[in-house]
Chains A and B, each alone.
Chain A
Amino acid sequence: MRLTVKQLAKAYGYLWALRHFDLTLSPGEFVALLGPNGAGKTTLLKLLAGLTPPTAGVIELDGRPLTGTAIAERGQIGLLAPAEHLYDQLTAVENLRFFTALYDKDSSASALDSALLQVGLSTRARDYVGNLSAGMKCRLSIAKWQLLDPGLLLLDEPYGVLDGSGIDLLENFLKAHCARGHIVIMASHHVARALKLCDRALILHQGRLQFDQRKQTPWPAFEHAFGDFLPRSGP
């Protein structure tokens, strides 16, 4: 999976939510998407997922433009938004079965059970998702995308609701996902965690890409940009 974005832009009303955005990602890259509230992170993820029509610009997956992609290729992009994209009145295992069947993946009971076991939800497999806590829904989403195995996985602030072991689970899953040549783009405010995982960091500010570099240690350029665009709270 190779992702190319050229001059992507999105306007809401009289405001640019994102503008002049260029990006090229190669297989296996893990990108941290950073920026203050309203910087355009969620807009960018929605555009990449094809859920919002861009005002201008092109997104290409493996050289083919995203709009007008054949149906089978659409399943290549995943969006993990914690506590969303699940049916409340279906049980955890029914949700997984529905989505795996829709993606034409292995929807056998054993596959679903082992996925639920991995995220620590086997005891709640037959509960309605509406009755699960936010953290458990997030774990279920992790299990879902583990089964669906998308070539490009987008994450929108996944840390908020997870407990310690949940975070370990997520990070191990993401590392393994990248190791298999898939691309991960994670938007987060947990800068330290995101930096530890990523190969490359992007900083968005007021709809513009302000910083884009591969990770180095030490990383003075990042510290500098970070100070400019993400002012730390308090003294």
Chain B
Amino acid sequence: MTLLRQAYLLLRKDLLLEWRRRDSLLTMFFFGTLLLFVFHFAFDMPPDKVVELAPALLWLAFLFTGTLGLAQLFQAERDNHCLDALLLSPLDRGALFLAKSAFNLILMLLVESVVIPLFWILFNLGSWNLLPQLFLVTLLGTLGFCVLGTITAAITLRARARELLLPLVLFPLMIPVILATIRCMEMVLRTGSFGDAIAWLRLLIGFDVIFLTIGVLIFDWVIES
């Protein structure tokens, strides 16, 4: 219970800070939108090709915006050495992990809930009725990204050039999530239902559960490192 109460306190604090500064959210949102334009110029796709490429392009955009968010994730704690203040306190390190993961998840979901419909509008896609299924896949994938991303953001916290190091360490570990979400979304777009994609969904859920558990268990070592 203490774990959840402390996680809630931290999350509320982070959301309040974000509400006042709006640094991460605005940057992530504009960067995500910008990428859609870049993709359009880079690929110049005919409408039937867009459906095929949509999942990959969307996930590329989410990966990049998500990494921006992760690079900023511990910024509030870096200013004034506030991380030290948290480490001094009787805070369960697992709560810090949960709060930071949830915070980045909220930011990314906010961005995604704008970027996905925007993608549909900009690329003239018709299948609006499939958006709920796509959002479910995106939610599971984003959760996995945030969970593992929070751990990697924390271990690169005291490294030189940590913003550059973070994606280098994170992306290879994220391959299962990247593959699973893209294939899953592709299948939904092609066939209109999950069908064979259920196996991919299971893999995603497995990934989320495994790294969420590991994160809570080892974050003590992660953050003290």
Contacts and interface: CB of A to CB of B under 8 A. Distances in A.
B76 A87 contact: yes
B82 interface: yes
Contacts of B224: 53
Contact of B90 (A72, A79, A89, A98): A72
Most-contacted residue by chain B among A50, A94, A98 (CB, 10 A): A98
Contacts of B87: 50-51
Nearest to A67: B224
B13 interface: yes
Contacts of A74: 88-91
B90 A104 contact: yes
A71 interface: yes
Interface string B64-90: 000000000000100111101111111
Given A75-B89, A83-B80, 17 more contacts: A51-B84, A51-B88, A71-B90, A74-B91, A79-B84, A84-B81, A84-B85, A85-B88, A87-B76, A87-B79, A87-B80, A89-B16, A89-B20, A89-B76, A90-B17, A103-B89, A104-B90
Nearest to B10: A102
Interface in A37-77: 49-51, 53, 71-75, 77
Given A53-B224, A101-B9, A86 B90 contact: no
A88 B77 CA distance: 11
Interface of B: 2, 6, 9, 13, 16-17, 20-21, 76, 79-82, 84-92, 224
A84 B224 CA distance: 19
Given A87-B17, A102-B9, A77 B88 contact: yes
A99 interface: yes
B89 A90 contact: no
B20 A85 contact: no
Contacts of A53: 224
B149 to A, nearest CB: 23
Nearest to A102: B89
Contacts of B6: 102
B95 to A, nearest CB: 9
Is the interface on chain A under 10, 10 to 19, 20 to 34, or 35 or more residues?
Answer: 20 to 34
A81 B88 CA distance: 12
A104 B86 CA distance: 13
B79 A88 contact: yes
A78 interface: yes
Nearest to B80: A84
Contacts of B2: 71
B132 to A, nearest CB: 36
A184 to B, nearest CB: 16
A102 B84 CA distance: 14
Interface string A14-57: 00000000000000000000000000000000000111010000
Contacts of B20: 89
Contacts of B17: 87, 89-90
22 contacts: A49-B84, A49-B88, A50-B87, A74-B88, A74-B90, A79-B84, A81-B81, A84-B80, A85-B82, A86-B80, A86-B82, A87-B17, A88-B80, A89-B16, A89-B17, A89-B20, A89-B76, A102-B9, A102-B89, A102-B91, A103-B90, A104-B90
Given A86-B80, A87-B17, A99 B85 contact: yes
A226 to B, nearest CB: 31
A198 to B, nearest CB: 23
Contact of B16 (A75, A90, A101): A90
B16, B90, B91, B224: residue with the most chain A Cβ atoms closer than 10 Å: B90
Given A84-B80, A87-B17, A75 B90 contact: yes
A74 B91 CA distance: 8
**What are the nearest 9 A-B pairs in CB distance?**
A75-B90, A85-B85, A89-B20, A74-B90, A102-B89, A84-B81, A89-B17, A84-B80, A51-B84
Nearest to A68: B220
Contacts of B81: 81, 84-85
Contacts of B21: 89
A104 B1 CA distance: 13
A187 B9 CA distance: 32
